[in-house]
Every structure is written in structure tokens, then in C-alpha cells.
């Protein structure tokens, strides 16, 4: 089965294509039905099994953080109208994400309009599961923290999450910048084939169907890129491979690392702690502060290991953390004529780093007044330039 929406062609493996060819020879057809949120069928297509099929959605409602519209998709295989063989139901969202010109350099355009992307660095690390969330509600909870604090984006840091996590970002309208997992330590060229295989699996897997994912980060800081010293898998080769695997999404070459100075890919991305730096766009890249902040208020009784936490800027109380962050958001607002995205470190405290807005046990560090003030500052940042 292959269905094309817009310019995206989700191609199956050769073994599946062989099965589809056999099914087509037996006269098997497939009916595709797109349904809106009310359950009303808004588009239908029928084609032989295995044939590339296009559905045209009249007056489509586009996916965005302010309106995360999702359509249901019902796919039915049959040999006749009365002989239904199989039926599955899924969903999809319609949106575009691309570079476009702005007054000071390139901007990221969501559905043709500039939207400032302000979000969390999210390591998705849980006290009762570590790499694995204990429940689906736990997956959803961390995503729900983004709009609670007035943000609209997550940079998923060097981790690929379960499909349900991306479902929650889709339904809640949270933009995802997806990191490639890095290889630490004294990595050698021997790690390159494994990195490439993992990159292909990350990009070519089912995550490609999620409207929330708009961009890939191939490298982070100095963690891994140095071992890519020769073609075809040098740094430029990895960026090119990422674009070949998925031409519908942007690529950030090296978030906050020295390979960013090569100025390939779609993003000029710096890391700046604790205060956000002033990064400039250019004719082929938009400007992003890929990490900043790291403001740490250590809450007694909430630390994984008391008096052992790291942070980039220690403050005495959560109230001081909130006011310091609001000042940083104002700095970004003042630069939003040329800076297009910012990533605060981070969503939650982890074992030995206590700079999250949430404690490690996922309780909120802030009272309702501070939470509302943070949300207001973030919303001002997100909306100021788009309103102009």
C-alpha cells in the first residue's frame, strides 16, 4: 500500500511490493477514505492494490501549533464491493515547512507563514523507566508541559521516542526537532557504518508520517561529527543523505558544534549558556539558539542525589528561576527580527542536572503565578513577529 499526500511518497519495502503485485493480479482493489474530525468522509480514492494513489482534500485544514488538525484515514482492501478482505484506520496531518526569505535573512515558514519556534530541550529520561516511560500517560505528560508553559516546540535530544510520544505531539500541536542519536567517547571511523544505519532507520521509519516532525539534527556539538572525515559519509554527505531520505524536512547540520561553521544545511545553530546568544541568519540558513538557559533551582526532596546537581546558572529559588528565564525570553523577543527559534535547557530535571521547569518526579517547580508569567513571556515571543 502506498498513499501520497501532497509531495510525500511513502514507499513500501520490496517484499511488500511483491505481495501487492500478487494481490493486484488477483483483482484486489483498495479504497482510501479521508475523514474530518466529525467523522465525515471528505475524500475517497479507489485503486488497484500497489498503485500509487493521490487523495485531494477540498479546502484542507492545515496542521499547526495553534490548530493541530488531524484527519482520519480508512484503508479497505477488497475483491468486490461485498468482499472486504482487510481494513485499517490511521490518521494524517497536512502542513508545509520550508525556508523562505525574511527581512534579515531566511526564515522557517510553517504553512507559508513565519512562526517563532520556542521550545524545550527534552531528554525524555524518566526516574521509573529511564529510557522508557512507565506509562502512556507519562509520555503525554511531558508533551503537555510544552503548551502549559506557553511554548510550541520540543527539540528531542539525541533520542528516538516510541510512536505514541509522536502521536501526542501531533494531537497537541507541538513541533518536533528530531535529533540523531550521537556516539560519545573516543569514537573512531569504525562507528560510521553504525551511525549511518541508525540515521537511515530514524528517518525512514514510521516517524516520517508525523506532521509534528519538521526538522532533523544530524550532529550535536562535538559529540560525533569529527569521525566523518571522508566521502561519501563526511559531514556534508550525512546532510545530503538526510535530505535524500526525506526531502520534505529541514536539516540542522550540527547543533551548537564546530561543524555548524561549515554553513551547510538549513540552520545556523549556536549553543549559548546561560544567556541566549545573538545568532544571525544568512541567505540559506535561518538562525536558531539551539540551547540556552540551564537555570537551576534545586528543590529539597526532589533531587535524585542531594547536593550533586549540575546547572549552568544556579539560583536560590524557583521564583528566581522563573524571573531569570523571563528576562532571557525578553532578550530573545528583542532579537526576534532575525532569530527564528530558541531551545531552553530543559523540560525536566534529570539525575545530575537540575535545570528543568519540572522536577525529576514531574511536579511543577513553579506556583500558578510564576507558571502564568512564564507562559505569557513565551507567548509574547511566539506571536510578536508573526503579528507584524
Q: What pLDDT shows up at residue 349? A: 95
Residue 69: name the closest of 42, 99, 100 by CA.
Answer: 42
Q: What pLDDT shows up at residue 388? A: 46
Asked, as a colleague might, if the bond just before 242 is cis with ω within 30 of 0, I would say no
| CA 34/CA 236 separation, integer angstroms | 39
Please state whether the predicted TM-score (pTM) of the whole model is above 0.85: yes
Q: What pLDDT shows up at residue 179? A: 97
Name the residue ranges covered by the structural domains of the chain: 3-92, 97-387
| Residues in CB range of 161: below 8 A, 6 or more apart | 124, 139
Q: What pLDDT shows up at residue 386? A: 54
Task: Kindly state the DSSP code that residue 228 receives in the 8-state scheme.
Answer: -
Task: Kindly state the DSSP code that residue 270 receives in the 8-state scheme.
Answer: E
Report helix, strand or coil for 215. strand
C-alpha cell at 167: 502521536
Alpha carbon 257 to its chain centroid, in Å, reads: 19
Q: What pLDDT shows up at residue 362? A: 95
Strand order in the sheet with 71-80: 41-48, 29-35, 71-80, 83-92
| CA 119/CA 174 separation, integer angstroms | 9
C-alpha cell at 361: 518526579
Print pLDDT tens along the chain (388 aa).
Answer: 344 444 334 444 455 455 555 555 567 888 999 999 999 999 999 888 788 889 999 999 999 999 999 999 999 988 766 677 788 999 999 999 999 987 777 899 999 999 999 999 999 999 988 999 999 999 999 999 999 999 999 999 999 999 999 999 999 999 999 999 998 767 788 889 999 999 999 999 888 899 999 999 999 998 888 888 888 889 999 999 999 999 999 999 999 999 999 999 999 999 999 999 999 999 899 999 999 999 999 999 999 988 899 999 999 999 999 999 999 999 999 999 999 999 999 999 999 999 999 999 999 999 999 999 999 999 999 998 654 4
Fold category of 3-92 in CATH? Immunoglobulin-like (2.60.40)
Report helix, strand or coil for 72. strand
DSSP string, 307-338: T--B-SEEESSHHHHHHHHHHHHHHHHHTTTT
Q: What pLDDT shows up at residue 20? A: 55
CATH superfamily, domain 97-387, is: Glycosidases (3.20.20.80)
Exposure class string for 225-249: b at 16+ Cβ within 10 A, else e: beebeeeebbbbebbbbbbeebebb
Q: What pLDDT shows up at residue 232? A: 83
Using CB atoms within 10 Å of the CB of residue 313, give its burial: 0 to 12 exposed, 13 to 18 middle, 19+ buried.
Answer: middle
As beta bridge partners, residue 313 has 295
Q: What pLDDT shows up at residue 72? A: 96
| 100 φ/ψ angles, rounded to the nearest 5 degrees | -145, 160
Amino acid at each position: 500500500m502506498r498513499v501520497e499526500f501532497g509531495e510525500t511518497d511513502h514507499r513500501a519495502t520490496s517484499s511488500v511490493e511483491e505481495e501487492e503485485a500478487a494481490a493486484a493480479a488477483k483483482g484486489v482493489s483498495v479504497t482510501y477514505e479521508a475523514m474530518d474530525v466529525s467523522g465525515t468522509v471528505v475524500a475517497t480514492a479507489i485503486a488497484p492494490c500497489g498503485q500509487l494513489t493521490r487523495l485531494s482534500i477540498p479546502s484542507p485544514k492545515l496542521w499547526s501549533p495553534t490548530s493541530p488538525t488531524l484527519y482520519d484515514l480508512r484503508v479497505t482492501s477488497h475483491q468486490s464491493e461485498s468482499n472486504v478482505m482487510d481494513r485499517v484506520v490511521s490518521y494524517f496531518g497536512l502542513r508545509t515547512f520550508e525556508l523562505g526569505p525574511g527581512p534579515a535573512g531566511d526564515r522557517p515558514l510553517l504553512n507559508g507563514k513565519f512562526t517563532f519556534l520556542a521550545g524545550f530541550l527534552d531528554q525524555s529520561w524518566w526516574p521509573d523507566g529511564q529510557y522508557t516511560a512507565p506509562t502512556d500517560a507519562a509520555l503525554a505528560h511531558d508533551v503537555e508541559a510544552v503548551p502549559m508553559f506557553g511554548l510550541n516546540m520540543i527539540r528531542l535530544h539525541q533520542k528516538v521516542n516510541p510512536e505514541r510520544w509522536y502521536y501526542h505531539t501531533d494531537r497537541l500541536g507541538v513541533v518536533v526537532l528530531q535529533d540523531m542519536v550521537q556516539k560519545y567517547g573516543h569514537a573512531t571511523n569504525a562507528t560510521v557504518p553504525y551511525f549511518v544505519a541508525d540515521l537511515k532507520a530514524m528517518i525512514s521509519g514510521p516517524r516520517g508520517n508525523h506532521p509534528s516532525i519538521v526538522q532533523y539534527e544530524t550532529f550535536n556539538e562535538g559529540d560525533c561529527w569529527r569521525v566523518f572525515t571522508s566521502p561519501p559519509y563526511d559531514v556534508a554527505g550525512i546532510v545530503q543523505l538526510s535530505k535524500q531520505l526525506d526531502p520534505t524536512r529541514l536539516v540542522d547540520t550540527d547543533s551548537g558544534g564546530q561543524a555548524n561553521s561549515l554553513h551547510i544545511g538549513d540552520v545556523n545553530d549556536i549553543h549559548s549558556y546561560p544567556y541566549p546568544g545573538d545568532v544571525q541568519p544568512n541567505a540559506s540558513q535561518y538562525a536558531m539558539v539551539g540551547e540556552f538557559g540551564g537555570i537551576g533551582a534545586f528543590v529539597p526532596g526532589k533531587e535524585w542525589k542531594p547536593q550533586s546537581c549540575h546547572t549552568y546558572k544556579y539560583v536560590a529559588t524557583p521564583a528566581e528561576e522563573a524571573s531569570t528565564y523571563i528576562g532571557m525570553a525578553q532578550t530573545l523577543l528583542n532579537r526576534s527580527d532575525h532569530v527564528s527559534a530558541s531551545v531552553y535547557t530543559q523540560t525536566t530535571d534529570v539525575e545530575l542536572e537540575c535545570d528543568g521547569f519540572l522536577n525529576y518526579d514531574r511536579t511543577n517547580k513553579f506556583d500558578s503565578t510564576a507558571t502564568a508569567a512564564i507562559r505569557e513571556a513565551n507567548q509574547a515571543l511566539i506571536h510578536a513577529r508573526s503579528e507584524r
